[in-house]
Amino acid sequence: MRCEPWHRLCFSSMHYEELEIAVTETISAIVEQHRTGKMSPADTVARSFQRIRDHGDPAIFISLRAEAEAIAEAKALSGKDPALLPLYGVPFAVKDNIDVAGLPTTAACPAFSYAAKQDANTVARLRAAGAIVIGKTNLDQFATGLVGVRSPYGIPKNPVKGDLVSGGSSSGSAVAVSAGLVPFSLGTDTAGSGRVPAMLNNIVGLKPSLGLMSTSGVVPACRTLDCVSIFSLSVDDAMLALNVMAGYDSADPYSRERSVGPITEFPAGLKLGVPRKGLLKFFGDTQSESAYNTAAARLVALGASTVEVDIEPLYETARLLYEGPWVAERYLVIRNLLASQPDAVHPVTREITIAGAKISAADTFAALYRLEALKQAARKIFAQFDALVLPTAPTAYTVEQVLANPIELNSRLGTYTNFVNLLDLCGLAVPAAMRADGIPFGITLLAPGGKDAMLASVGRVFHADTKMKVGATGLSQSPLAPLPKALGKDEIALVAVGAHMSGMALNHELRALGARFVEATTTAPDYKLYALKGTTPPKPGMLRVDANSGSGIQVEVWALSPASFGKFVASLPPPMSIGNVTLADGKIAKGFLVEAEAIKGARDITSFGGWRAFMADTKAAV
């Protein structure tokens, strides 16, 4: 794969002005445009490159793919079934500490740069779903910082308010989405890097549960805390990308058997935690304080109730992050570079990480013991409510202010983010208000790991209710898409595993019986998936196994009337059978299973996470 710095892009002879048609910028809308032929994936990719040129900020991207190569990849999608590609032709950007095959990975340090030989797991999953990589984005060097100014590749300009920092460390990824250059991007989040830039750029930032997405192919910051994050213009877009990337990865020691779960309507009886009076810190920023109070009141108006809680244990946890072994983790990644070429490391990054060399084993265990005690305290706090509502950041600073006081102001921006990964929480940062001074303000919803979908169910409704423009694009939010209806009183749920899923070869059999799509979800981690031999069309077999050797499999739930269910089961050919399938949320439904005898000689495809991903990969290889 060839790449080129942004400034080497030259104008093509194509008439790009013809591509600037009115297209809603959500992922789902772009995919619909592509599937209906109203716009081609190649045109959408070309439009992203043109927007990058027009925007004219050389500090957003560290490297870009060769435009012709990206367009050729988009054109090649025409040979695939669009129904199998949930991200059909959608362009995206990748933070430059995440590998993209054929492009350099720099972590914003030229001396560290290497040529990535294969895609990171998350990038590979996105590309298998039809998404097109545009380029690699700038960051605070080695993902150390929340400000976006610690890079030899320049300081990305905040497109919402030019004198503000863009936030970091995922600075370029957030700016690229806010400016409308791409509809979504990948960042990373260790101490708030997927949330603080979201607020400062007026976009959504999703920090998933630890281990939900693989970190294989990601340059570590703190390996025990790192996760890949998502920036987008809407919560629904972030969740669509999350569902594509989520899944166990045996190559990642920190990958976990976790599932996303379904988005629901705004939860009835929702109880939200808010800090007790006097515990919030805004560092004198009264506009942010007022915006937070207004956001909390908005959530109450939407139907939530609030309970005041003590968040001092969270503040104490945050202080551990830069006082203990997690600094040593950062040092471990670049200790050889610090020893051989110390001047190659940004001065502030060097000052922070070099302290990790002094952390003793005794210091490490003392910090780990204290963290366990704080986790106990946090569990008691979170037992009082469904989600905690905090400012994403207490205030905002200009580039000039941060350059003059780089460490203290950076620390302030992490007031409400630094403790999150240490406590294994998931988080969703959403825009809340545009202040009178033109500075964006946002809130973050936090919950224990595994509750990503619940946060999305709240955050999507809150964001829509603000009626704010998205990013710096000036575009209005798209109306919230209707959610699948719950199972009816007289309906029977059927779990589809393979060719009967939406867009697949045998889905018409379900629709002919009046079946209704309910949701896409995953099974409990008790199953293996096999590609059966000699079946036409190709079919998988899902086998229940011991939980220690199984995995969650991506499936769909369909609803049928009792009569239709009976007809369907009666027509099912061997070796397929219907049995009880346990879903990730613990619910049990009838679904496709296969007997152990039928998998002899079959290929184990569990690692793909589901039949759709396997089929997309198979077609890509043909």
Residues 429 and 564 in one domain: no
Residues 276 and 239 in one domain: no
CATH of the domain at 538: 3.10.490.10
Residues 146 and 196 in one domain: yes
Residues 279 and 371 in one domain: yes
Of 169, 214, 457, 551, the catalytic one is 169
8 A C-beta contact, residue 170 and residue 191:
no
Residues 434 and 295 in one domain: yes
Is 78 part of the annotated catalytic residue set?
A: no
Question: What does the alpha-carbon distance between residue 138 and residue 62 come to, in Å, rounded to a whole number?
Answer: 5
* Domain presence at residue 567: yes
Residues 77 and 186 in one domain: yes
Residues 610 and 504 in one domain: yes
Q: What is the pLDDT of residue 7?
A: 38
Give the up-direction half-sphere exposure of residue 524: CA atoms within 13 A in the CB hemisphere.
Answer: 17
Is 193 part of the annotated catalytic residue set?
A: yes
Q: State the chain's maximal CA–CA distance in angstroms.
A: 74
pLDDT band per the 50, 70, 90 thresholds, residue 504: confident
Q: Tens digits of per-residue pLDDT, 101-118?
A: 999 999 999 999 999 999
CATH of the domain at 325: 3.90.1300.10
Residues 460 and 537 in one domain: no
Counted domains in the chain = 3
Q: What is the pLDDT of residue 533?
A: 85
Task: Write down which residue in 452, 476, 500 finishes a domain.
Answer: 476
- pTM over 0.75? The answer is yes
Residues 458 and 528 in one domain: no
pLDDT band per the 50, 70, 90 thresholds, residue 1: low
* Domain presence at residue 266: no
Task: Write down which residue in 411, 441, 476 finishes a domain.
Answer: 476
Q: Tell me which residue range forms the domain holding 239.
A: 3-245
Q: What is the mean pLDDT of the chain?
A: 92
* Domain presence at residue 84: yes
Residues 240 and 275 in one domain: no
Q: What is the pLDDT of residue 10?
A: 36
* Domain presence at residue 425: yes
- CB proximity list for 410: less than 8 A, separation 6 or greater: 145, 146, 147, 402
8 A C-beta contact, residue 364 and residue 358:
no
The arithmetic mean of pLDDT across residues 386-390, rounded, is 98
* Domain presence at residue 264: no
* Domain presence at residue 254: no
Cis, peptide link before residue 267, omega less than 30° from 0: no
Of 95, 157, 451, 539, the catalytic one is 95
> For a pLDDT cut of 70, what percent of the chain falls above it?
95
Is 157 part of the annotated catalytic residue set?
A: no
The arithmetic mean of pLDDT across residues 301-327, rounded, is 96
Laid out side by side, the sheet with 576-582 consists of 516-522, 554-560, 492-496, 588-594, 576-582
Residues 386 and 497 in one domain: no
Residues 198 and 309 in one domain: no
Of 28, 166, 185, 193, the catalytic one is 193
Sign of CA dihedral 107, 108, 113, 119: positive
Q: What is the pLDDT of residue 102?
A: 96
Question: What does the alpha-carbon distance between residue 587 and residue 498 come to, in Å, rounded to a whole number?
Answer: 20
* Domain presence at residue 395: yes
Task: Write down which residue in 446, 476, 506 finishes a domain.
Answer: 476
* Domain presence at residue 482: no
